[in-house]
Structure 1
Amino acid sequence: MQVILDPQSSQFARLTGVAYLSIAVFGAYAIGYVPSQIVVAGDAAATVANINEKRALYLSGIGADALVMLIEIFATVMLYAMFRPVSPVLAKIAAVARLMMVAVMAGMLFFHAGALALIDGSFAALSDAQRAEMVGWLFDMHHAGVWIWQLFFFVHLALLGRLVDASNRFPKILGLALTIGAFGYLLDSLYAFAFSQIGWLGIVRIGFLVVVTLGEVGFALWLTIRAPRATPTH
């Protein structure tokens, strides 16, 4: 417990970095790998068949998702404690925005629960085709939840980048990448919700998302490997 008593210590920074990297690893598994093995775009029946065939994989993805949320709570508070001396207001807004993101993620688990209930025989009056269609609808709603939490994550990362830059404890390029790249999450949500017909927007958002991914990974690695100490004040 001694390590968490000094938010400006290198040990605290290193622990925060480990939490951040853990989120990246488990999140990539839950959001990237598992859906790629389960979900068949535009074919709800095939998706249901994959869930039945690969139930353990599907459940492991839900478990990884839940683990990410728990780690997020620790990481959010630790980031707030680290950057509070830089700007209490910005650090608090960034923390609240990230916790709002986690709240949306938690709500999205209900769609998984609903899908499993349908697959396991709930609403027996419905045909298999009707249940599969409802499962597809629940997956669409779950995906819409991603577009919602990305709005809160945009706010968090834009402010985190500003705090990283102002702290003078990290390379300026990391703060810049986080702040500028954060717009990728905003553009991705706007593109999905309202402007999917604008082709250039879909391309631009990918560029920003690449930038912010590099910024987040670089920031987490810097925390873990370099574990910066507080900048001395005079």
Structure 2
Amino acid sequence: MRSIKSFSRLTGAVYFFIALAGVFGISYVPELVVLGDTEATINSLLANTTTIRWAIVAALLTQIGHLVLVLMLHRILAPVSTAAANLMVIFVLVGVPIAMLNEASYGVVLALLPRAEASASLILAFVEFHAYGIVIVQIFWGLWLFPFGYLIYKSDFLPKIIGVTLMIGCFGYLTDSVIYFFDPNFSIKFAIYLFWGELIVLTWLIIKGVNVEKWKLQSDESLSVT
């Protein structure tokens, strides 16, 4: 029984790693873009090629970590609903390869940078292509949160309010994706304001973990039903 508490805390630690690596991997390169100034953008990219490579590595590690995380969460939350836990995994399994392939865009950018004078427009096109790829994978970053939040809400061993915040966060990601396709320059990013649900759940898992007795009871109940 004690092992599930340790396991849930380890799950929170994995989630924390993903959050840190993800923020760096996703947000660093866009910060190098100088809107309306191609030359300044190219110079900024050229001056930070090593860090761009690290951003790619961080993004790839984030996706590998996401796979590990969702399988760990499946073990914890499957007693609540196997179907919902499986759906959570499916959304991640679809999103991860999209996100990993999207990093190839930055690989092309790095390959073109030595010929920046002749390839400036192409470099910027691949930077923008990566941004659209993020918007697509963001759909799945949102979708997986709904069954995740639902499972926590229906569980007896984690606070229900955390589940509610995660389900709300789902719509933040989806809203941002839809808006971006119609207006890429729209300044408000709803996912940023609704991301706190994920911060709460990873913090709770690290500090408190699951309620062991209630998890065991719900696990036994699910086994008796099956």
TM range (shorter): 0.7 to 0.9
Secondary structure at the counterpart of residue 204 of structure 2 = helix
Secondary structure at the counterpart of residue 139 of structure 1 = helix
| Paired positions, count | 216
Deviation of the 1:222 alpha carbon: 0.5
Secondary structure at the counterpart of residue 85 of structure 1 = coil
Quick one: distance in 2 between partners of 1:108 and 1:43?
24
Give the alignment partner of residue 164 of structure 1, picking from 152, 172, 182. Answer: 152
AA aligned to 2:131 is: H
1:25–1:197 CA distance, 2 compared to 1 (3 A): closer
Q: Which residue of 2 aligns with 1:83?
A: 77
Give the alignment partner of residue 182 of structure 1, picking from 162, 170, 183. Answer: 170
| TM value normalised by structure 1 | 0.84
Q: Which residue of 2 aligns with 1:143?
A: 131
Give the alignment partner of residue 205 of structure 2, picking from 205, 223, 230. Answer: 223
1:8–1:155 CA distance, 2 compared to 1 (3 A): farther
Choose 217-226 or 53-62, whichever is displaced more: 53-62
Q: Which residue of 1 aligns with 2:224?
A: none
1:209–1:9 CA distance, 2 compared to 1 (3 A): same
Check conservation: 1:7, 1:82, Cα contact below 8 A. no
Check conservation: 1:97, 1:156, Cα contact below 8 A. yes
Choose 136-145 or 69-78, whichever is displaced more: 69-78
Check conservation: 1:7, 1:13, Cα contact below 8 A. no
Q: Over residues 176-218 of structure 1, what are the superposed CA-to-partner deviations in whole Å (9 max), with x where a residue is unaligned?
A: 0100121011100100113x2997xx75x62x6412x110000
Q: Does 1:120 align with 2:103?
A: no
Deviation of the 1:100 alpha carbon: 1.5
Quick one: distance in 2 between partners of 1:183 and 1:70?
24
AA aligned to 2:147 is: L
Quick one: distance in 1 between partners of 2:167 and 2:142?
9
Choose 57-66 or 185-194, whichever is displaced more: 57-66
Q: Percent identity?
A: 29
Deviation of the 1:99 alpha carbon: 2.0
Q: Does 1:16 align with 2:4?
A: no
Check conservation: 2:149, 2:166, Cα contact below 8 A. yes
Quick one: distance in 1 between partners of 2:185 and 2:74?
37
Q: Which residue of 2 aligns with 1:29?
A: 24
1:90–1:228 CA distance, 2 compared to 1 (3 A): same
Pairwise CA RMSD:
2.3
Matches within 5 A, 1:62-77: 62-77=56-71
1:34–1:144 CA distance, 2 compared to 1 (3 A): closer
| TM value normalised by structure 2 | 0.87
Q: Does 1:210 align with 2:193?
A: yes
Q: Which runs of 5+ in 1 are unaligned?
A: 1-5, 122-127
